[in-house]
Amino acid sequence: MQQLIKQKQNLVNQLLKYGNLVKGSINATCVNCNRATCICKSKTNKKAFRLTYKDKNQKTVIVYVPKERLKEIRLMISNYARFRKILDRLIYLNIESFRSACLAS
Ligand SMILES: [Zn+2]
Protein backbone atom coordinates (compact mmCIF):
# COMPACT_ATOMS: atom_id res chain seq x y z
CA MET A 1 0.00 0.00 0.00
CA GLN A 2 2.85 2.33 0.95
CA GLN A 3 4.46 1.41 -2.35
CA LEU A 4 1.29 2.36 -4.22
CA ILE A 5 1.05 5.75 -2.52
CA LYS A 6 4.64 6.41 -3.49
CA GLN A 7 3.97 5.43 -7.10
CA LYS A 8 0.96 7.71 -7.23
CA GLN A 9 2.84 10.63 -5.73
CA ASN A 10 5.58 10.08 -8.27
CA LEU A 11 3.06 10.25 -11.12
CA VAL A 12 1.48 13.43 -9.74
CA ASN A 13 4.94 15.02 -9.58
CA GLN A 14 5.53 14.04 -13.20
CA LEU A 15 2.21 15.63 -14.20
CA LEU A 16 3.42 18.95 -12.75
CA LYS A 17 6.53 18.73 -14.91
CA TYR A 18 4.45 18.63 -18.10
CA GLY A 19 1.96 21.32 -17.10
CA ASN A 20 3.14 23.65 -19.87
CA LEU A 21 0.93 21.98 -22.44
CA VAL A 22 -1.56 22.54 -25.20
CA LYS A 23 -3.61 20.09 -27.17
CA GLY A 24 -4.13 20.18 -30.88
CA SER A 25 -2.19 19.90 -34.08
CA ILE A 26 -0.18 22.26 -36.21
CA ASN A 27 -0.83 22.76 -39.88
CA ALA A 28 0.53 25.08 -42.50
CA THR A 29 -1.53 27.20 -44.85
CA CYS A 30 -0.75 29.56 -47.72
CA VAL A 31 -0.30 33.11 -46.40
CA ASN A 32 -2.40 34.55 -49.23
CA CYS A 33 -5.43 32.30 -49.57
CA ASN A 34 -5.22 30.82 -46.07
CA ARG A 35 -5.77 27.28 -47.38
CA ALA A 36 -3.82 24.12 -46.73
CA THR A 37 -4.01 23.37 -50.45
CA CYS A 38 -3.17 26.65 -52.12
CA ILE A 39 -5.58 27.95 -54.78
CA CYS A 40 -3.59 31.07 -55.72
CA LYS A 41 -2.76 31.60 -59.39
CA SER A 42 0.71 32.79 -58.56
CA LYS A 43 2.01 30.32 -56.02
CA THR A 44 4.06 31.41 -53.09
CA ASN A 45 6.09 29.27 -50.77
CA LYS A 46 5.20 31.44 -47.82
CA LYS A 47 3.33 29.51 -45.18
CA ALA A 48 1.38 30.51 -42.13
CA PHE A 49 1.30 28.09 -39.24
CA ARG A 50 -1.60 27.51 -36.97
CA LEU A 51 -2.57 25.38 -34.04
CA THR A 52 -6.03 23.83 -34.25
CA TYR A 53 -7.87 22.19 -31.39
CA LYS A 54 -11.37 21.64 -30.09
CA ASP A 55 -12.47 23.43 -26.93
CA LYS A 56 -14.73 21.95 -24.25
CA ASN A 57 -17.80 22.61 -26.40
CA GLN A 58 -16.16 20.82 -29.34
CA LYS A 59 -15.77 24.14 -31.11
CA THR A 60 -12.66 24.37 -33.28
CA VAL A 61 -10.20 26.99 -32.12
CA ILE A 62 -7.44 28.25 -34.40
CA VAL A 63 -4.40 30.05 -33.07
CA TYR A 64 -1.79 31.48 -35.41
CA VAL A 65 1.75 30.52 -34.52
CA PRO A 66 4.70 32.69 -35.55
CA LYS A 67 7.35 30.62 -37.30
CA GLU A 68 9.96 31.39 -34.67
CA ARG A 69 7.71 29.94 -31.98
CA LEU A 70 6.87 26.65 -33.74
CA LYS A 71 9.42 24.74 -31.70
CA GLU A 72 7.89 26.01 -28.49
CA ILE A 73 4.34 25.06 -29.46
CA ARG A 74 5.48 21.61 -30.66
CA LEU A 75 7.05 21.01 -27.27
CA MET A 76 3.80 22.02 -25.60
CA ILE A 77 1.88 19.55 -27.79
CA SER A 78 4.26 16.74 -26.87
CA ASN A 79 3.90 17.71 -23.21
CA TYR A 80 0.17 17.13 -23.60
CA ALA A 81 0.81 13.62 -24.95
CA ARG A 82 3.13 12.86 -22.02
CA PHE A 83 0.64 14.31 -19.56
CA ARG A 84 -2.14 12.12 -20.94
CA LYS A 85 0.02 9.02 -20.72
CA ILE A 86 0.88 9.69 -17.08
CA LEU A 87 -2.75 10.54 -16.31
CA ASP A 88 -3.86 7.21 -17.81
CA ARG A 89 -1.32 5.43 -15.62
CA LEU A 90 -2.57 7.31 -12.54
CA ILE A 91 -6.18 6.37 -13.34
CA TYR A 92 -5.12 2.75 -13.73
CA LEU A 93 -3.38 2.75 -10.34
CA ASN A 94 -6.38 4.38 -8.68
CA ILE A 95 -8.74 1.81 -10.17
CA GLU A 96 -6.48 -1.00 -9.03
CA SER A 97 -6.31 0.31 -5.47
CA PHE A 98 -10.06 0.95 -5.44
CA ARG A 99 -10.65 -2.66 -6.58
CA SER A 100 -8.34 -4.17 -3.99
CA ALA A 101 -9.94 -2.02 -1.25
CA CYS A 102 -13.36 -3.34 -2.32
CA LEU A 103 -12.10 -6.93 -2.13
CA ALA A 104 -10.54 -6.35 1.30
CA SER A 105 -13.72 -4.99 2.87
ZN1 LIG B 1 -2.66 30.37 -51.80
**Distance in Å, CA 74 to ligand 1 centroid:** 24
Please give the mean pLDDT across all residues of the chain.
Answer: 93
Q: Residue 63: name the closest of 100, 26, 37, 95 by CA.
A: 26
How many angstroms separate the alpha carbon of residue 45 from the centre of ligand 1? 9
Confidence category of residue 101, pLDDT binned at 50, 70, 90:
confident
Nearest Cα to 94, choosing from 19, 5, 18? 5
Per residue in 25-55, pLDDT (tens digit) is: 999 999 999 898 999 998 888 999 999 999 9
**How far apart are the CA of 40 and the centre of ligand 1, in A?**
4
In this prediction, residue 43 carries a pLDDT of 81
Give pLDDT tens digits for 63-77: 999 999 999 999 999
Of the chain, the end-to-end C-alpha distance in Å amounts to 15
Cα 36 to averaged position of ligand 1 atoms, centre (Å): 8
Structural domain spans, the chain = 2-104
* pLDDT on residue 23: 95
